[in-house]
Chain A
Amino acid sequence: MRIARHPVLDFSGIGRRQVTFSFNGKPVAALEGESIAAGLLANDILVFRLSPRLREPRSAFCLRGKCGECLMRVNGQENVRACQTPVVEGMVVESDLGSQD
């Protein structure tokens, strides 16, 4: 969920356009300029993918492009880091279930 009120920081989102992208076929509303991961987490979508061998739920982990836990298929391209990639209107995002590497 998004922070509604903060004593120090301004997250009112005023002047930020809303964009819609799809995650595993479902529409998700996000703010222009934010990362795919931020958009998903803001909508309480915490499970980003299942681990390839044990099929355990995994979420974003380091949020700074280092760990690879948030890799997704974006517009057909595999292994895109959701935490480092800004959302774009109409973007097609899918959990990268098949990839082993």
Chain B
Amino acid sequence: MTSIGFERVSFRYPDSEERVLDDVTLEIPAGSFALVTGDTGAGKSTFIRAINGLVPHFTGGEYAGAVTLRGETLRNTLDSAPRYLADLVAFVPQDPAAAFVVDRVEDELAYSLENLGVDRAVMRRRVEETLDVLNVEGLRDRSVRTLSGGERQRVAIAAALAPGPRILLLDEPTSQLDPQGAEDVLAALQRLVHDLGVTVVLAEHRLERVAGFVDLAVGMRRGQPVVVGDPAGVLEQLRSGPPVARLGRLVGWSPPPLTVRDARRVAGKLTLASPSQSVLPASNPLVRATGLHAGYGRRAVLNQVEVSLDEGAIVALMGRNGAGKTTLLRCLAGLHPAEAGTVEVRGDPPVAGRNVALCPQRPESMLFAETVAGEVEATLRARGSPSSPTSVLDALGIADLSDRHPRDLSAGQRLLVAIASIAATDAPVLLLDEPTRGLDHESKTRLVAFLRSWARRGRAAMVATHDVELAAEVATEVVMLAGGEVIAHGDPAGVLGDSPVFAPQMARVFGPGWLTPDQVAAAVTS
């Protein structure tokens, strides 16, 4: 059992003027399952990296105070570089793919053990045990480069766990996982806390996923002191929380519930009018895909897919990791050739950047200009469009960022910039591939507002996402993919409402038909 103590820790990055950590003093008791939450740019990653000494050993910068790890021995992160803490603290970065060192899954698990000089016999046993704990036994001979997002995350956690650390640090471990995959990973983490007494610290934006698991929260806000305590109190102070907490604040429950189960206990007191059914007027189809088959080499990914996107529709494309969402978007954008079937955009074949705009999973792969405005201008210039970048930036609510350098922005802001530079192509169809990685609440609100205004102008959007709450909030239709086939297509309440995996929190509390806290609060009659 090892606890983590911050004593008056302050830190400033070398090229920055403000301190990310400012006189932080707190204690995370041994055996905690702790959540680090707050807006992007508030210093969550820095906080986590300070626990194993990556900050300041790797970053440089101005550092004061001390982080101590108290277990059988007392270790101070300033005295020992991260490598000398590796037997005690393990760290899983946000993008596990970039952190893999070796090629084969089994060797990747053994890598830390080899570095620590563990005996071969012990090593063999530890690797086997860890394969089972994270349920990655079936992947042992695979190359890490061929794994899906969810598999990668599980393998990365297994590789971190193999040496038996007492503290496990994770930066957004569920951001690339489907709801079931996220649930599995969190349950595995909880088992480590309960059975092995590991102290787990994770940063996460998807509060609806983690709030029920954690027993301690560290709340960070820009320019304000860090708060630490029980999750309900901290989230209340930050005015954030999962949808049930937002509902609690809207209808005056105190304290607001954190989990669906808490919410059900108090929900009985509410009398609700029946859910408003928003019936969409029938409109013209903008995109139509018929009989679509596609794959990579001999591996078939899409099978007989029929999808249409109407004018004014915002379609959430959902399904497990590896269900074929990205491939479908790439087919709709004309980037991936279909083996059979057709895709038409108002009767024409799709041409990316002309009549279809697709924002890829990693927005960093397209940003190159010196300023945010310059980024949008580059698209406008390429398309020969006379309009100014301001209108596009305004629509996304990021006009105030127009002179900033894209590299200096948070992940969420960068995504909005990428969407702006894609939307500037003025194509009537906008496809977004997993736009919620690293997206904090504020950026998500801006994205939702933008998508609505986009649809109001008679255009269409399709958003591939694992974020059921985003789908519940913004989607007019949901398409559910499984094994490359469309298994459901309809209004969100119908498709998501009674799904055990994909139902949003409001549907879990009040039954199918209820999607968002605002919708429920508006229907309260007494």
Q: Do A and B come from one complex?
A: no
Contact residues of B with A, CB < 8 Å? none
